[in-house]
Amino acid sequence: MGNDLPTVVVVGSLHYDIMVDASGRPRKGETLPGRSWWPKCGGKGGNQAVAAASQGAHTRMIGAVGRDDFGRALLANLDARGVDRSGVVTVDAASSGMSVAIFDDDGDYGAVIVSGSNLHIAPEQVAVDRLAGARVLVLQNEASETINAAAAASARELGAIVILNAAPARAFSTDLPDAVDVLVVNAVEAEMLGGGAVTSLDQALAAARALTAQFRAVLVTAGGDGVAFADREGAEIRVPAVPVVVASTHGAGDAFVGTLAASLARRAEIQTAIQTANEEAARIVSTPEADRHRRQDAPQRP
């Protein structure tokens, strides 16, 4: 402890994404024409680290890439976005993680991910000394639960806040929930973890309350309905969604988590942190995916 910098450490996935713009998403056995495609550096871990850095937090990424063109592009992107990637290793055992995402006319998307090197993050990468100085640790379910549990244990030893974005949702086989300070899930993930159906802000709050049986504090994002928070001490917060015209929902959740982490690293109160994250997610949702791509330096195509 004793660190005066608002430092966020992110342990998780790095994916080289292939983005496809099409009128719709294909059904089983169907082939559809696409309008365009472009590369993007992502992975929930990488996206959340970039989001935290963009909010002014000193951000360190811990992960793994393959010894390939995708891996080199992912490392270069972290450098360009101001993320300290000294904790990212290059492995020979697997190719870099990647995904293909297809966006439709409604701004929704479907994706397939190949985890690759992300499953080769080593326990020594999340030892206490590797997390030194962190005020906030961010985890997601695109890394193995064993690594997440080890990282969370190290963070708690340092007195850091542990955020788990349980995406994709899955059952827990370790004591990871006991080490998490704030669980962040969307409506689908909340239901899959036992919080019940979420189709309104009231139901999001009910789900957050229910999930405090497993986690100290729970934040449920409910898309256009807003965000609900509950903790075991009885605190409850509802933040309505910012009214925007939806252009693309892709990346909004990662922007929310990264911004939340940066705010908490600056020692903001939880309600302020949620409101700030909610506003950033709304900005992302209202920006077309292709426009986000044009505003940034695109990763070089391998």
Mean pLDDT over 98-124 rounds to 89
The answer to the question of residue 195 being in a domain is: yes
The answer to the question of residue 278 being in a domain is: yes
Helix axes 69-80, 44-54, angle to 10 degrees: 20
Q: Give yes or no for residue 107 having a pLDDT over 90.
A: no
Q: pLDDT class for 5, splitting at 50, 70, 90?
A: confident
The answer to the question of residue 21 being in a domain is: no
pLDDT in tens, 39-67: 999 999 999 999 999 999 999 999 999 99
pLDDT in tens, 116-175: 999 999 999 999 999 999 999 999 999 999 999 999 999 999 999 999 999 999 999 999
Domains in the chain, number: 1
**Residue corresponding to tokens 């898309």:** 223
Identify the CATH number of the domain in which residue 51 sits: 3.40.1190.20
Paired with 153 in beta bridges are none
Find the helix or strand (DSSP H, E) in which 179 lies: helix 176-179
pLDDT of residue 1: 41
Rg (C-alpha) for the chain, rounded Å, is: 18
Q: Specify whether the CB–CB gap between 176 and 141 falls below 8 A.
A: no
Q: By C-alpha distance, which of 255, 253, 209, 212 is closest to 228?
A: 209
The answer to the question of residue 226 being in a domain is: yes
pLDDT in tens, 268-295: 999 999 999 999 988 887 777 656 554 4
Distances (CA, A) of 220 to 44, 106, 164, 167: 17, 23, 12, 12
The parent domain of residue 59 ranges over: 7-14+43-96+118-295
pLDDT of residue 243: 74
The answer to the question of residue 36 being in a domain is: no
Token pair in block for residue 236: 């409850």
pLDDT of residue 235: 97
Distances (CA, A) of 163 to 33, 94, 202, 212: 40, 28, 23, 14
The answer to the question of residue 156 being in a domain is: yes
Using CA atoms, how far apart are residues 142 and 144, in angstroms rounded to an integer?
A: 7
How big is the chain, counted in residues? Answer: 302
Query: Is 0.85 topped by the overall pTM?
Result: yes
Using CA atoms, how far apart are residues 287 and 177, in angstroms rounded to an integer?
A: 34
